[in-house]
Amino acid sequence: MSGHVQVDRIGIHLGAGVQRFEAVQDLSLDIAPGEFVCLLGPSGCGKSTLLGALAGHLAPTAGRIRVDGQPVDGPDPSRGLVFQHHTLFPWKRVVDNVAFGLQMKNVPQGERRTRARELLASVGLGDFAERYPSQLSGGMQQRVEIARVLINHPAVLLMDEPFGALDALTRVKMQRLLLDVWARIRTTVVFVTHDIDEALFLADRIVVMSARPGRIVEQIALPFARPRDASLLTTPEFAALKRHCLALLEEPDEGDPLPRLTPLGAPRAEEPWRFAV
């Protein structure tokens, strides 16, 4: 399987001159092919910055990033990026928005439209192929956005709070849809969120990041079986992990970085999901 992500001690600085600051500090991460990983952390902790580096839009100041052994030195269709707000072309019909990546590869029009329609059907929008983006709801627009990225068969799907602008009910529906699509295609997913429930529901593993500069505080391998449904959110195990994540994300006292964290050794019997970083 493709989609093996290796992040080796990267640091990322943003800005210039006196405005320059450290966004990500000495961060290492290994993501297996087909794994669903959520980056969880407070606003401004460097989650989106890290995602931008994985996409190839930002060059690390230190360290290196590799996907399937190849250095990430710029954007590539093998790493698809989905933003919080869609980037659909308003003048193109939905089917042509989805087919756009194939057009860039000089795939014949008939073939690319056929493949786009098949993908739209898989995300529940087969009847809306000839609509324009403005004629769709916010959740439907995000489904089109996801389909447009997936048509290139990316080895890694990078998602930057893609459901953050949706209402609660639509957000839950989109989470279920994403899990359904991911179960079929098994691409590697790196999903940025600051919503603990979302991370616990979606991920195989949660990577908790500190306040800026972003560092990995803890990694949590989730014990929940798949497929998952809404009943998971009311289980004692889910509640315990949510409390643990909340404790990790508490703001540290000024001048005392991460005072609420204790050194991690081997996981205790009652905490099989926790491991040191």
pLDDT of res. 274: 53
Q: Which of the four pLDDT bands, split at 50, 70 and 90, describes residue 265?
A: very low
- List, in sequence order, every beta strand (DSSP E) within the chain: 5-14, 21-31, 36-40, 62-67, 70-71, 79-82, 156-160, 188-193, 205-209, 216-221, 274-275
Q: Are strands 188-193 and 274-275 parallel, antiparallel or unpaired?
A: unpaired
pLDDT digits (tens, 9 = 90+) for 42-61: 888 999 999 999 999 999 99
45 contacts: CB under 8 Å, gap ≥ 6: 209, 210, 211, 212, 214
All domains of the chain in start order, with CATH: 5-78+188-275 (3.40.50.300)
- Put the strands of the sheet holding 216-221 in their side by side order: 79-82, 156-160, 188-193, 36-40, 205-209, 216-221, 274-275
Q: Which residues pair with 11 in a beta bridge?
A: 62
240-244, long-range: CB < 8 A, 24+ apart: 241/200, 241/273, 242/196, 242/197, 242/200, 244/220, 244/274
Pairing between strand 216-221 and 21-31?
A: unpaired
| β-bridge mates for residue 12, sequence order | 24
Tokens of 237: 């195990």
| pLDDT at site 277 | 43
- The pLDDT value given to residue 252: 56
The whole-number pLDDT of residue 43 equals 87
Angle, alpha carbons 54-56-60 (nearest 5°)? 75
User: In a 10 Å sphere around its CB, with 0-12 CB exposed, 13-18 middle and 19+ buried, how is residue 201 labelled?
Assistant: buried
- pTM of the full predicted structure? 0.87
Interval 84-131: pLDDT, tens? 888 899 999 999 999 998 888 888 889 999 999 999 998 889 999 999
Backbone angles phi, psi at 145, to 5 degrees: -60, -45
Q: Which of 53, 67, 81, 51 is nearest to 2 (CA)?
A: 67
Least confident of 67-76, 80-89, 218-227, 260-269: 260-269
